[in-house]
Structure 1
Amino acid sequence: MRQGFLLLALLAMIGCNNVLAQQVENEQPDTEIKVVDAPEDQAIAARLGAITDAISGLEDVEISVTAGVITVKGQVANAQLKDELTTIASRLEGVVHVQNQLQEQLAVSSRLAPATEKFREILGTTVQMLPLLLLAVLAVLLFSLLGSWLSRRNSLLRKLGLSELATNLGMRFVRLIVTSIGILIALELLDATALVSAMLGVAGVIGIALGFAFRNIVENYLAGVLLSTRNPFAIGDFIQVDDMTGKVVRLTSRDTVLMTLDGNHLRIPNSQIITSPMTNFTRNPLRRFEFNVGVSVTLDLVRVRELAISTLQNMPGILTEPRPRVLILELGDSAVSVRVLAWIDQRKTDFLKARSEAIRLVKTAFDQAGIEMPEPIYRLHMVDMASSDADNSQPVSTVPMQPAVVNADVESIDVSADTTIEQQLKDELKQSAEENLLPAATGNKTD
């Protein structure tokens, strides 16, 4: 109850204050505004005329003053001068009102007059600054020539062991830096150093935009610089990148060109080569091949291994050191998996030919020795318990040691290095004028 009375009293006070404020606003002053020593109309007109004569574009304005009311007539160049004259006239002492009857000039000559005047000012300023302009241009030209001269002196970077692409990139940076110094000196002479910050800001924004737009091109270029510096391969090397293989033809600033064993050109982006696992089969002239053979579980594995090793030792192109090896991989349900390994010299022996002939000769030797290479089958044996002891007494079958390879067969084996791709690669290098950042091959390479 008490709170209700307080609320009513508060509302009543607010209403009274509003009524009092409205009464104050409606009250009119009883005293008159007296003007003492007010300027005469002629004095106001003379003062405004002097002002318009001093402002360009208001020289032809007609001014009349009657009882403190200013009337201006005539034509002005633009609306800005019209508004400025009204503001100036209203600030004069003794002015009661301003009647602005000015009209904008629509003639072409009047419109061109300000622009002509501005051009004359710029021309005059340019003539005054002509010696500084010539000196600034001379500074830019001198530093540009100095940068070009330094960019051709790449012997120092060559001595550091940098590649041609890395050297060219470094020389371009040197030229850019020297030329930029000349431009900064020219701007300092012209007292336009504030323009440098604006140029740097614009260059930064443009650089970010170009970086996003040409990201792949920049990545491939920088990857080409790294590849040409590290030299992970040379012309003619047989390499593998991911699942792509071929002989290296050339390295460009954007991609690496390979010639596959089918004679096709394969282009791989440099950035992919940098970020992917790569195998170079040519750096080490010795290379090992391997293949798996399945033999029966009833055979003597020691004799199987000796037969395979002796067969490979009699084969042309197989190195005696490291010697061939035979490893037993696993025991299956119906066969034992055996892995045969041997080494060759890629400079004299073709890898694919040697592996093919090794598989053929091992199979021939196993067939001649009666070694069974079973298919994955399942057999069900029904054994009588009474005869189990007699069956267990049977010896394990052995492999008769027979000559692994017939002499006539050995003479017909061809494992010589295949130079078909090498010849096509040489022809490609002679015919194509595309840039190549790799040094020339020192000799024939094989796969």
Structure 2
Amino acid sequence: MVLIHDLRLLLAHGWRALLCALVLACAAPAFAVLPEAALGGEEPAEAEAEGEVAAEIAQTSDEGEDTRIRQRIEAIYSVLPAFENVEVEVSEGVVSLVGTLPDAEAIDRAEEIAANIAGVVTVDNGIERDLSVAQNLSILSEATELAQKALAALPLLAVAVAVALAIGALGYFIAGLGFIWNRIAPNAFLAELIRGAIRLVFVVVAIVVALDLLGAGALLGAVLGGAGLIGLAVGFAMRDTAENYVASIMLSLRQPFRPNDHVLIDDLEGRVIRLTSRATVLMTLEGNHLRIPNAQVFKAVILNYTRNPQRRFDFELGVDADDDPRAAMKVGTDALAALSFVLADPAPAARITQVGDSNIVIFFIGWIDQREADWFKSRSLAIAAVKEALEDEGFALPEPIYRLRFDGRTDPLPIGRTGTLSEAQPKKSASAARTVAEDVQPESEISELVEAERRGDGDQANDLLDESRPVE
């Protein structure tokens, strides 16, 4: 019975053991395909990095690699004379540099050369700067070398200078052909401007050719660039001067007036002495010199009194409001026509311009020839003649009438007669009062001063006024 019970227990536990064995057999292929990380091993990236480091270490650890690196660096240093005193040691790809060099730039260059060699892991730069006097006086040798190069380049330099001088001389010769430029240019000022431009162009061409022969193209670009910047700065600084200069050229072409012309430029009046490259010089009617910048003259309104010999004068006179203004106009124009200096063509005229409280204002007009009569004198005598003619014909020339009113609430003013009125003296007739001769000859003092100054001034070459050219 005991035996039978044991068999039953064995069978009951046996099928369970068999089931566990089957499960383990099926799970074995799955464990085989799992990554090592799932099984507690290292990651693939770390394993790959360790493999590369191991390969690199294996490469640099080559016994012949250090020797090759050292020989390569020494061979390069031997070609460069400045690095002859540098010692090189290589261990496991680490380069150690020992020695002295004259400056920090050479030390950095030595390290850069060593670092660029294949197989070098790092560079231990132990090079120190040589502060000895003998080593740092190498600049003298460099200066000597430069002097030797300059001496060797003297023939080429002589050729470049000769070519530049030849080009410049040709430009000055062409500019010196004055008869050509004086014929082409409208005046001497523009002719000289053309000659100066020709000389400048040839000088610039000469410099460019000389520098090109010497192989100094970079220097040429720097010079031209600097000249452009300087020219721009000078242009801004001398803007007003340049404006006057350009205006002088335009005025010399336009010729708006002649010497000794009586002109009014804006509100500045006088007679023209000369037109220079910067200003117009006038002599005022008071005999003073007046210099006006040409830029202002070019933009100004110019009134030339001398251009037309006939000039009109005008004035106003008032007659009593009760008088006949048409009769007064007729008397006034007849008086003007009777004057010898007043032109008959255009004939004198009169117009009514205003009717006031106590008078009628009449505007009288007359014309003169400025070559024979002075404008100021003629106008003064004409006013006097018309006034006298109107008074002779019984026309009153009233003054403004003012009415005064006194307040009756105040005390009367102590106004009384302190004497007797004297009998009025008979008024002299207008014709009897005309005792002054009619002197209307043109004033010539200012004109003579201008002519004397132009004759005595030796700076006629700078005068841009040309009487042979037409006036604008």
Relative to the length of structure 2, the TM-score reads: 0.74
Counterparts of 1:353 and 1:71, CA distance in 2: 110
Distance change in 2, residues 1:218/1:108 (3 Å): farther
Aligned residues: 398
Distance change in 2, residues 1:27/1:122 (3 Å): same
Distance change in 2, residues 1:405/1:278 (3 Å): farther
**Equivalent position of 2:50 in the other structure:** 29
**Equivalent position of 2:320 in the other structure:** 296
Distance change in 2, residues 1:124/1:246 (3 Å): same
Q: 1:187 aligns with which of 211, 229, 245?
A: 211
**Equivalent position of 2:124 in the other structure:** 99
Matched, 1:77 2:98: no
SS in 2 for 1:187: helix
**Equivalent position of 2:186 in the other structure:** 162
| Residue identity matched to 1:85 | A
Distance change in 2, residues 1:51/1:28 (3 Å): closer
SS in 1 for 2:81: coil
**Equivalent position of 1:424 in the other structure:** 449
1:365-376 to structure 2, matched below 5 A, reads 365-376=389-400
CA RMSD of aligned residues (A): 3.4
Counterparts of 2:64 and 2:175, CA distance in 1: 79
Give unmatched runs, 5+ long, in structure 1. Answer: 1-20, 380-403, 443-447
Q: 2:297 aligns with which of 269, 273, 279?
A: 273
1:277 Cα deviation (Å)?
0.6
| Residue identity matched to 2:78 | D
1:279 Cα deviation (Å)?
0.6
1:188 Cα deviation (Å)?
3.3
Larger deviation: 51-60 or 261-270?
A: 51-60
Counterparts of 2:62 and 2:163, CA distance in 1: 67
Q: 1:205-224: CA deviations, max 9, x gaps?
A: 33322222111101111111
| Residue identity matched to 1:437 | D
Counterparts of 1:353 and 1:93, CA distance in 2: 109
Q: 1:92-130: CA deviations, max 9, x gaps?
A: 5676654322211224443341x4454345434434433
**Equivalent position of 1:384 in the other structure:** none
Matched, 1:309 2:333: yes
Q: 2:365 aligns with which of 341, 356, 361?
A: 341
1:90 Cα deviation (Å)?
4.2
Distance change in 2, residues 1:24/1:157 (3 Å): same
| Residue identity matched to 2:64 | P
Distance change in 2, residues 1:43/1:277 (3 Å): closer
Q: 1:201-244: CA deviations, max 9, x gaps?
A: 43333332222211110111111112122211122111001111
Give unmatched runs, 5+ long, in structure 2. Answer: 1-41, 404-428
- Kept in 1, the 8 Å contact 2:372–2:442? The answer is yes
Distance change in 2, residues 1:72/1:164 (3 Å): same
SS in 2 for 1:253: coil
- Kept in 2, the 8 Å contact 1:316–1:415? The answer is no
1:6-17 to structure 2, matched below 5 A, reads none
| Residue identity matched to 1:165 | F
Counterparts of 1:28 and 1:145, CA distance in 2: 78
SS in 2 for 1:110: helix
Counterparts of 1:232 and 1:95, CA distance in 2: 86
**Equivalent position of 2:85 in the other structure:** 60
- Kept in 1, the 8 Å contact 2:187–2:466? The answer is no
| Residue identity matched to 1:233 | F
Counterparts of 1:91 and 1:438, CA distance in 2: 74
Distance change in 2, residues 1:88/1:156 (3 Å): closer
1:178 Cα deviation (Å)?
2.5
Q: 1:241-284: CA deviations, max 9, x gaps?
A: 11110111121111111111111111111011111110111111
Matched, 1:256 2:280: yes
1:69 Cα deviation (Å)?
5.2
**Equivalent position of 2:382 in the other structure:** 358
**Equivalent position of 2:63 in the other structure:** 38
**Equivalent position of 2:199 in the other structure:** 175
Matched, 1:415 2:440: yes
Q: 2:463 aligns with which of 429, 437, 440?
A: 437
Distance change in 2, residues 1:140/1:89 (3 Å): closer
| Residue identity matched to 1:57 | A
**Equivalent position of 2:346 in the other structure:** 322
Counterparts of 2:363 and 2:430, CA distance in 1: 20
Distance change in 2, residues 1:317/1:438 (3 Å): farther
| Residue identity matched to 1:324 | P
1:427 Cα deviation (Å)?
4.1
1:68 Cα deviation (Å)?
6.0
| Residue identity matched to 1:299 | D
SS in 2 for 1:249: strand
**Equivalent position of 1:215 in the other structure:** 239
| Residue identity matched to 1:304 | A
Distance change in 2, residues 1:44/1:204 (3 Å): closer
- Kept in 2, the 8 Å contact 1:38–1:94? The answer is no
**Equivalent position of 1:14 in the other structure:** none
Distance change in 2, residues 1:206/1:303 (3 Å): same
1:313 Cα deviation (Å)?
2.4
